[in-house]
């Protein structure tokens, strides 16, 4: 699975869990995917709101088509997420 940066607005200090029945008649505690926006989705929304997809788009000539603008926003968000990961590792250049 692609790294999406995790939840943009986590719900608390502990990951959400739910109880599920197991094959032995007991219950197991299972990790549940956090609901809501990922950091990648948040970055893509910010790219759209910030006008990054305005022409000239550095990654894809959007041409005003919503589908192309969405692709461009997520491509920009991928780059933003990669830069975030690089900086979290202590790299600054």
* pLDDT in the model for residue 35: 64
Answer yes or no: is 7 within a domain.
Answer: no
pTM of the predicted protein model: 0.56
User: Domains in the chain: how many in total?
Assistant: 1
Answer yes or no: is 41 within a domain.
Answer: yes
In angstroms, rounded to a whole number, what is the distance separating the alpha carbons of residues 41 and 7?
A: 9
Answer yes or no: is 10 within a domain.
Answer: no
Answer yes or no: is 12 within a domain.
Answer: no
Answer yes or no: is 27 within a domain.
Answer: no
For range 16-44, the mean pLDDT? 79
In angstroms, rounded to a whole number, what is the distance separating the alpha carbons of residues 78 and 52?
A: 13
For range 22-26, the mean pLDDT? 87
- Give 82 or 33, the one with higher predicted confidence: 82
Q: Could you report the per-residue pLDDT of 42-62, keeping only the tens digit for each? A: 888 888 777 754 555 555 455
Answer yes or no: is 72 within a domain.
Answer: yes
| Domain membership of residue 60 as a residue range | 36-93
């Amino acid at each position: 699975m692609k790294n999406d940066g995790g939840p943009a607005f986590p719900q608390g200090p502990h990951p959400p869990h739910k109880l599920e029945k197991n094959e032995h008649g007991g219950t197991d505690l299972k990790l549940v995917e956090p609901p809501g926006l990922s950091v990648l989705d948040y970055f893509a929304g910010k790219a759209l709101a910030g006008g990054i997809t305005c022409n000239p788009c550095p990654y894809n000539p959007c041409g005003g088509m919503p589908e192309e603008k969405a692709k461009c926003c997520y491509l920009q968000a991928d780059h933003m997420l990669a830069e975030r990961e690089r900086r979290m590792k202590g790299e600054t250049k």
